Structure 1
Amino acid sequence: MKSEIISLQEVTFTYTEEEKNIRPAVDNVSFTIYEGEWVAIVGHNGSGKSTLARLMNGLLFPQKGTVRIFGETLNEQNLWETRSQMGMVFQNPDNQFVGATVQDDVAFALENNGIPFEEMVERVQQSIEKVNMSSFMNSEPHHLSGGQKQRVAIAGAIALQPRILLLDEATSMLDPQGREEVLSIVRKLREETDLTVISITHDLEEALLADRIIMMNQGEKYAVGSPEEIFLRGQELVDLGLDLPFAMNVSRLLRDQGIELVAEHMSEEELVNDLWTSHFNK
């Protein structure tokens, strides 16, 4: 059985009155994430998912409950050691860039962590190669497309050889092509390593890639399950301010038009195969 890598036990966090939050942003939330899992944390704006991200990476500490990372309670004493094993990619990659070129930017965190120069050069090259950005080594990050920028941000994160990759709305500012570029890189990294991925997102297409989904609503853990288990709630998700995956929405529209389908489809490929087999390949 996989070992526990992150565990929240009865965690509560409330912002101050000045920040105009009259209820806990996270209210008595407990869950465990295991090594090698891809877990998506989803919810509408204000559901508490971004606060959970800050609690897991130590930008915030809970007022009640405990956050355990790698088996130890997260605190100010072990915060920096813990963060050195956690790669983070945020919503806006421009806010993360500090280097004049792609390779300088990827090397920045390694320099801060005192990695020897020869090893640093090797790690930078390997990480940039893994995200298919080798031809942009000497390019200025701000001249890249949105998807390319996020790939560089991922390269900087994985250069540290982390055990956890935390994506905090990392695809929300990207167009469909950029989003697919980034998610395909993450899928490939998981195939090659035992990397644990935590995806904080409101994009249910992204959540489909996860092993498990933790659904938040008004600061509370609302549901936990596989993507199939969560999405089969259908209209319940829509009523909570979330959209359904594209294939599910199309499936519903087709049924409304009297077109029978074999099942409720999560992916476009499943839907196309159903339509082809049931209605066109006769």
Structure 2
Amino acid sequence: MMSEILALQQVTFAYPSDETEVRNAVDNVSFSITEGEWIAIVGHNGSGKSTIAKLMNGLLYPNEGNVRFMNQLLNDDNLWDIRSQMGMVFQNPDNQFVGATVQDDVAFALENNGVLHDDMVKRVQQALAQVKMQDFLDHEPHHLSGGQKQRVAIAGALALYPKLLILDEATSMLDPQGRNEVLQTIQQLREETGLTVISITHDLEEAILADRLLFMNNGQKFAEGTPDEIFALGDTLLDLGLDLPFAMKLSRLLQEKGVPLIGLNMTEEELVNDLWISNFNK
């Protein structure tokens, strides 16, 4: 039986304000993630996604409710121990580098955690191999592409042997190639190691790769389910400021033009297969 890694239980948080009426940035939100699962938290700007990320790693504490990691209540006494078991990759890869070379950067957090030199060298090489960046050990980070930088950032997180990897808009500043590099890396890591992932994103092409989606709206959990279940809401998502995957929008347009399709497809591969089966394989 898979164990629960992280849980938010009836969490409410509001930023300090001088206004009489204060809107909760996160309003009575509950969810949990189990070992090996990939959850994507999606929603429009201001929906509460970024605040949830800060609540998960203890940058903020709830006004009400609690956050639990590996069945431990997150608090000041265990904050640093819990953070050491979480890997985080942020939006801008250029803001994450502190080392003169790729291997220096991956080793930075290990040095801060007092890892012995021989073990540190092993972990750096292992982590870079996991993201297929082992040939760039001595490269200067600013010479790397955006996708390569994010893969190095992921390696830095993996070197700490985290139980949970949190991607906070980690692909939003990348070009399509860089974005695909990062997402393929995450998918492969999950297949090979069973890595547990939470991705906070507005990119629906990224979200459909997750096992489960959490759709936030105005600080509240509006819907939760598989990608199929969430995107089946269709126009409701559009009304709330969330777009639909490109392949799904194209499927709808084709059906409106009379092109027969089996269903609404979420990926381009699914759409191509549907077109082939429905129109060319008769």
TM-score (norm 1): 0.97
CA drift of 1:173 comes to 0.5
The number of equivalent residue pairs is 282
Cα distance change of structure 1 residues 73 and 209 upon mapping to structure 2, 3 Å threshold? same
The equivalent residue for 1:131 is 131
| Equivalent residue, structure 1, for 2:31 | 31
Find the counterpart in structure 2 of residue 209 from structure 1.
209
Give how far 1:2 is off. 1.2
Counterparts of 1:116 and 1:129, CA distance in 2:
20
Distance in 2 (alpha carbons) for counterparts of 1:277 and 1:182? 31
Secondary structure of the equivalent of 1:209?
Answer: coil
Q: 1:258: which partner in 2?
A: 258
1:37-186 alignment runs, 5 A limit: 37-186=37-186
1:49–1:200 contact (8 Å) kept in structure 2: yes
- Counterpart of 2:200 in 1: which secondary structure? strand
* Equivalent in the alignment of 1:246: 246
Residue identity in the other structure for 1:103: Q
Closer/same/farther in 2, CA of residues 20 and 162 from structure 1, 3 Å limit:
farther
Evaluate the alpha carbon distance shift between residue 17 and residue 216 of structure 1 in structure 2; reply closer, same or farther with a 3 A threshold: same
State how far apart, in whole Å, the 2-side matches of 1:20 and 1:77 are: 33
CA displacement at 1:3 relative to structure 2: 1.0
Q: Is the 8 A contact 1:14 1:21 kept in 2?
A: no
Q: TM-score scaled to structure 2, two decimals?
A: 0.97
Distance 1:88 1:18 in 2: 32
Residues in 2 aligned to 1:27 and 1:104: alpha-carbon distance in whole angstroms: 41
Q: Deviations over 1:130-189 (max 9, x none)?
A: 111122111111221110110000000000010000000000001111111000000111
Alpha-carbon distance change, 20 to 177 in structure 1, aligned in 2, over 3 angstroms: farther
Cα distance in 1 for partners of 2:29, 2:213 equals: 14
SS of 1:139 mapped into structure 2: coil
For residues 190-234 of structure 1, the C-alpha deviation after alignment (integer angstroms, 9 at most, x for no partner) is 111121100000111101111110110000010000000001111
Secondary structure of the 1:17 match is: coil
**Distance in 2 separating the partners of 1:106 and 1:87:** 12
Runs of at least 5 residues in structure 1 that lack an aligned partner in the other structure: none
* Residues 29-82 of structure 1: CA deviation (Å, up to 9, x unaligned): 111111111000000000001100000011111111100011011001101100
Q: In structure 2, what is the Cα distance between the partners aligned to 1:178 and 1:21?
A: 43
The CA RMSD over aligned residues, in Å, is 1.4
Q: Deviations over 1:222-249 (max 9, x none)?
A: 0000000001111111111111011101
Change (3 A) 1:123 1:243: same
Of the structure 1 ranges 191-200 and 149-158, higher mean CA displacement relative to structure 2 is found in: 191-200
Percent of paired sites with the same residue: 69
Shift of 1:94: 1.3
SS class of match (2:61): coil
- Which amino acid in structure 2 is aligned with residue 17 of structure 1? S
Task: Establish whether residue 199 from structure 1 lines up as the match of residue 199 from structure 2.
Answer: yes
Gaps of 5+ in 2: none
Q: Is the deviation greater in 21-30 or in 140-149?
A: 21-30
Against the structure 1 CA distance between its residues 252 and 20, is the aligned structure 2 distance closer, same or farther, given a 3 Å change threshold?
farther
Contact conserved, 1:214 with 1:223, CA < 8 A, in 2? Answer: yes
